Every structure is written in C-alpha cells, then in structure tokens.
Amino acid sequence: MPSLGADMEHGKVVEWLVKPGDYIHKGDLVAAVDTDKTVMDIESFQEGVVAEFLVDIGDTVDVGTPIARITATPAELPPPPLTSGTISPNARSPLTAKEPTPAHPRGEAAPAGHGAKVPPPVRHLAHTLGVDVGRISGSGTDGEVTRADVERAAAASVTKAPAAPPVVAETPAAPAAETHRVRSSPLARRLAAELGVELQAVAGTGPGGAVTEEDVLAAVPPRGRAAKEPAAERPAEAPPSDTPQPEARPEPLAEAPGRKQPTAAGGKAESLRQAIGALMSRSKKEIPHYYLSTTLDLAAAMAWMQAANQQRPVSSRLVPSALLLKATAVAAKEVPDMNGFFTKGTFQPSSSVHLGVAVALRHGGLVAPALHDADTLTLEELMVQLRDLVGRARAGRLQRSEMADPTITVTNLGDLGVESVYGVIYPPQVAMVGFGKVLEQPWAHNGMLGIRQAAIATLSADHRVSDGLRGGRFLARIDELLQAPEKL
C-alpha cells in the first residue's frame, strides 16, 4: 500500500484493475485505493506478472503493507547471485511482498513430501519467481532441482498460461478470503460503503451475479438510510490526540449554510474531515508558520484575459485562476525556498514545481492534487489540466502521484467570495499561497486615483526554511509576473 500523501496512514483496496496472471509494466495502474480523502488509482512500481493479491477488495491496510505479489519475468532477472527479483525498489511504496506473510507460508514448505532435493539458493530463486519446486522434476544429481530447472519452469508458466493459477507460487490465496469476495462494480462498492451496506448481504443481479448499483440501492430501505451507521465502514481513526479542528482552515463548503449534505456522502465527508483535521493539527504543531500578504494589481492581467477570451470559444476560455496559478508556479521555480519538502529535519528543494490546487469538494472537505510541472505549462495547457484535475477530484478519481507530489499548494477561495485566505501548510510542503476574490478597488498610481481589478495574495510559509524577506520576494515576484500576462 503506497503512501498517497503525507497524511495517509492506511488505504482500502476498492478495485483491482489487473488480475493474477496479467503482465504489467512499471507505471501501469493496478488498483483503485480509497483513502480517507478520495479514490485513487495506484500504479505498479515494477514490471512483472501479477502472481496474487494479498489483500481483498474492501480490506483496509496500513501504508507499507504488501497488497499484491508480482513475480519478475525470466527475461529481466538479474544475473546470479540473485538477490531480489520481486522486491519493489521503492521502500516507501511496497506494492509487492518480499517475504511470504506468515499466514501464507510458501516456498520453504512446498517441497515437503516430494522428496526432491532443492539447495537453498535454488529454493530462494523458485520462491522469487513464484515457482512451486514440488512440481519440478529435477535434472541435477540425484534428481536435485537446479537453478536452470526453476528458470525453465518459470518461463514456461509465464508464456504458456499467464492467467492460470500455476503462475502463482503454491497456495493461490487464503481460501477464507474467497468467501468475502463479492463480485461488484466499483460504483456499487463505493455506494455500498457510503450507505453502510454489507456487500456480502446483497443479492447480485449483474453479470455473473455481480452486485450492481441498483442492487445496493435496493438493499437500503428508503427510511433506513439515515439510521445506517456509515462510520462502521470506516476502520480508520485519526490519532486520538489529533482532535479534528474544522476551524483550523477555512472550509468553503463544509459549513456553508443552505447546502444540503446528502446522507450518502456523510460517512465519506466525516472521514475526510478527520483526515484534514489530523493533518492540519500536525501542520500547526510542527510548522512555525509566518504569514504575509500583498495586493496584486490585476489590471493588466484581467484586461489581457478578457481580450483573449473574446477570441476564444467557450471551451478554451481562461479563468483568472489559471493566470494566478501559472504566475505562482513560475515564482516558485525562481524562489526555491518555497518549493519542496521538509522531512527529517531538513529541507529538500524540488527542481520541479508540482502545484497543488486546493479543490473544494461538493459534500464538504477538500483535496489538493498536483498540476505536474505547472511552471512549464502554457496557460492553455494549464487550463485544460486544471479542469480535468478538478473534475476528477470531485468525482473521486485521482491518481497516486497527483496526491503525493505537490511541492507547494495554492488555495483560491476568492473564487467563492472571500477577500483573503491564510492557508495552513500541507506537510511536508513548506508554503501555501492563497488568492482572494478579484475585485475592483480604488488604486492610487502616480498621484492619481483610479479603479483597478485587484486581489489579495497571501503566503503562509515555513520559518524553518525561509523568512519574511524571501517570502516577500516570492509574493512580489507573483505580482511582477502578472504585469506581463502575455508572457505567462
């Protein structure tokens, strides 16, 4: 279970996007994982054949827990002495199991009763490749199984029948787990979790008896929805000391009056609130924030944007946020003390700017996924990616890297009416930029008073990394960049 963000402690596998026997490349999406915040697709960190799943759909496991075993293909095996063909090099994100879990002993136990002699290094290789040595007839002295035998068997099983169970080492999976696996659509599972419906208790009417969205809805008595306890579905708790503090950061949606909170989303909103509360508490405890603000002169930027938009069809019009985000990304690239991670007592500036964008979710709460390499995007590209990102964030479909990568975050509450917002830094990031509403304001310039479009930009930054001088330069740079919008 990879870490999908600094605040993530566990995740729930809600969907497998591959099946045992599938050949996958590094970077292929393998599973959808539900964190307290959103559902994200996670990718494989290595190439190989999916041998087995180590957790079931619906299981919640801690970050770092192996969730699937991937066997290396013979073609890419490192030469002997063989150390680790299947081990994820990314220790932070172990997708694969290095050792069998105690519940599923394999490899070592397999040849018992078969009598074939298997030298330990060969046994290790067999284990690594997911080959059952008990099924191999040895070609060595006294029928001893050799390294070549194992490699042949591995190659055969990969090429012959990738989907067949023999690819998997010995025990396919814990049989007990099978009884908990219910065929169901991803939407049905999400709905079931939100409504507090036990999927196992629902009779499926879909293909192959799969539980569909309708089946889940049918299983909930119309009046019973409110009575269901969605929290029961949530195995996660924030650390007890971390009392959620909704007031720790401005929440545009959660507390807005008049906004209905559909029951179906109540459980999710609540767990999201806890996750935000825990992370923001941690931020306020650990990060010595300092705050700056400046008023951006947006006359040039807004005039340029309005002229540009007149030439454009609706689908490619820009919004002021796009200009603000781009200027922030470029400034962050130039002032590296704002852009990077503070971990283990030191600051590592990032050479790329992955701009986190705080997105208010409709049922309350927010997520801040990344626009990758935002400083290198044209305004048009940034606009397209922003719309895609916000759409997927609200639909609950973000990718792991989008959640884990932001190097600095922007919150743009001005879009919903406030004049200024002082954000709380997302650990391990070191800065948070806030933009208020774009307003017409009286503006003194060269001894004359005029009216200009303006907005208040704020910076919350980490005093362990920078001080007000550097932070002020960063904000001033954003303003400067916005004076030449055509160059953004």
Q: Which two tokens stand for residue 384?
A: 């397209």
Query: Strands 10-16, 359-360: parallel, antiparallel or unpaired by DSSP?
Result: unpaired
Those residues whose C-beta lies under 8 Å from the C-beta of residue 240, and which sit 6 or more positions away, are none
Check residue 187 for interaction with another protein (CB under 8 A).
Answer: no
Query: Which of 91, 314, 444, 449 touches another protein (CB under 8 A)?
Result: 314
Going from the C-alpha of 310 to that of each of 272, 306, 316, the distances in angstroms are 40, 6, 11
Residues with Cβ within 8 Å of 200's Cβ and at least 6 positions away in sequence, in order, are 180, 182
Buried b (16+ CB within 10 A) or exposed e, 264-275: bbbbbbbbbbbb
Q: Which is nearer to another protein, 223 or 260 (CB)?
A: 260
User: Element (H or E) spanning 472, and its range?
Assistant: helix 468-482
Instruction: Kindly tell me which of 260 and 487 has the beta carbon lying closer to another protein.
Output: 260
Query: Which span (193-201, 270-278, 312-320, 468-476) binds another protein, by CB under 8 A?
Result: 312-320
Taking CB under 8 A as the binding criterion, the range among 117-125, 146-154, 216-224, 306-314 that sits at the site for another protein is: 306-314
Site size toward another protein, by CB under 8 A: 26
Q: What would the x/- binding string for another protein be over residues 327 to 366, using CB under 8 A?
A: ---------------------------------x-xx---
Closest separation in Å from C-beta 309 to another protein: 5
Residue 320 in contact with another protein, rule: CB under 8 A: yes
Is residue 386 a contact point for another protein (CB under 8 A)?
yes
Please list every residue from 239 through 258 that binds another protein, using CB under 8 A.
Answer: 252-253, 256, 258
Residue 98 beta carbon to another protein: minimum distance, rounded to whole angstroms: 44
CB of 455 to another protein, least distance (A): 12
Of residues 396 through 455, those in contact with another protein by CB under 8 A are: 415-417
Residue 15, classed as helix, strand or coil, is: strand
Residue closer to another protein, measured from CB, 199 or 272: 272
Supply the minimum distance, in Å, between the C-beta of residue 359 and another protein. Answer: 9
Return the range that interacts with another protein (CB under 8 A); candidates 137-145, 215-223, 319-327, 332-340. 319-327
Among 65, 293, 294, 309, binds another protein (CB under 8 A): 309
**Mapping DSSP to helix (H, G, I), strand (E, B) and coil, where does residue 151 land?**
helix
Per the DSSP assignment, residues forming a β-bridge with 291 are 460
| Site residues (CB under 8 A) for another protein, limited to 258-287 | 258-260, 262
Nearer of residues 30 and 361 to another protein, judged by Cβ? 361
Q: For another protein, which residue of 155, 390, 418, 476 counts as binding (CB under 8 A)?
A: 390
Report how far apart, in Å, the C-alpha atoms of 430 and of each of 327, 340, 404 are. Answer: 18, 7, 14
Decide: 53 and 15 in contact? Cβ < 8 Å.
no
Exposed, middle or buried, 292 (CB in 10 Å: 0-12/13-18/19+)? middle
Q: What is the DSSP string of 89-108?
A: S-TTS--S-SS--TTS--SS
Kindly report the CA angle at 20 between 17 and 23, in degrees rounded to 5?
A: 80
Minimum CB–partner distance for residue 431 and another protein (Å): 23
Secondary structure of residue 273 in the 3-state scheme: helix
- Strands 39-43 and 23-24 turn out to be unpaired
Question: Nearest to residue 24, comparing CAs of 181, 183, 158?
Answer: 158
DSSP character at residue 71: E
Which CB sits closer to another protein, 99 or 419?
419
Supply the minimum distance, in Å, between the C-beta of residue 333 and another protein: 24
Q: Which residues bind another protein (CB under 8 A)?
A: 252-253, 256, 258-260, 262, 306, 309-310, 313-315, 317, 319-321, 360, 362-363, 386-387, 390, 415-417
